[in-house]
Amino acid sequence: GAVVSQHPSWVICKSGTSVKIECRSLDFQATTMFWYRQFPKQSLMLMATSNEGSKATYEQGVEKDKFLINHASLTLSTLTVTSAHPEDSSFYICSAGPSMNTEAFFGQGTRLTVV
Amino acid sequence: EDQVTQSPEALRLQEGESSSLNCSYTVSGLRGLFWYRQDPGKGPEFLFTLYSAGEEKEKERLKATLTKKESFLHITAPKPEDSATYLCAVQAPGTYKYIFGTGTRLKVLA
């Protein structure tokens, strides 16, 4: 299957600082990538759809100014959590696929802890 | 409203004890149904894609089936390494977004 790589795997930051998470498609090009958030023992919640060369589309209730998404190339999307607070602590996961009509592949996830 | 429901929430099996996980969906025109396995602290790992009722896919001890209303993930003679959370997702028409179920946490005891 296709490979999606996410970095870092975990990060600890101080309250008020910003954190950037990278999502790369290693062996295919992805015009669209998805960003999810997952709370303990819960399922994946879609946060936004990242579109190469254009603005991201955010799900209802997701603050676009807090979660900045940049999809500057066909193999890289970044999620920046701005002015992070403890309530932003969570597991963030990205996904992408070689085709929008077939299965998506997920990154390893990033555990964000805000202290 | 498009919805995916998985049952049971949690399942404990003895090694070798076969069972099935259920994924029920309500979506106006299914584009695809996907099964993933997720280990703690990791991203979901792709298992199967099913597109139409009657379709079946197999991989080692796992077999996925699809009807017009639900999908089953059958686990035959499971081993402890099959312990994980199994997630089901559907792709609704007119969108490439996935709608995920809440998952089934499977524990296989040696």
Q: Do B49 and A102 touch (CB under 8 A)?
A: yes
On the question of pLDDT at B94 being above 80, the answer is: no
Q: Do B34 and A104 touch (CB under 8 A)?
A: yes
Q: Do A43 and B97 touch (CB under 8 A)?
A: no
- Strand pairing report for B10-14 and B104-109: parallel
**Length reported for chain B:** 110
**Chain B positions in Cβ-Cβ contact with residue A111 (cut-off 8 Å):** 41
**Chain A positions in Cβ-Cβ contact with residue B97 (cut-off 8 Å):** 34, 46, 49
Model confidence pLDDT, tens digit, residues B12-70: 999 999 999 999 999 888 889 999 999 999 999 999 999 999 999 999 999 999 999 99
Of A37, A109, A96, A43, the residue nearest A67 (C-alpha): A37
* pLDDT given for residue A53 in this prediction: 87
Q: Is the peptide bond before B40 cis (omega within 30 degrees of 0)?
A: no
Q: pLDDT tens string for chain A (115 positions)? A: 789 999 999 999 999 999 999 999 999 999 999 999 999 888 899 999 999 988 999 999 999 999 999 998 999 999 999 999 999 999 999 999 888 778 999 999 999 999 9
* pLDDT given for residue B59 in this prediction: 95
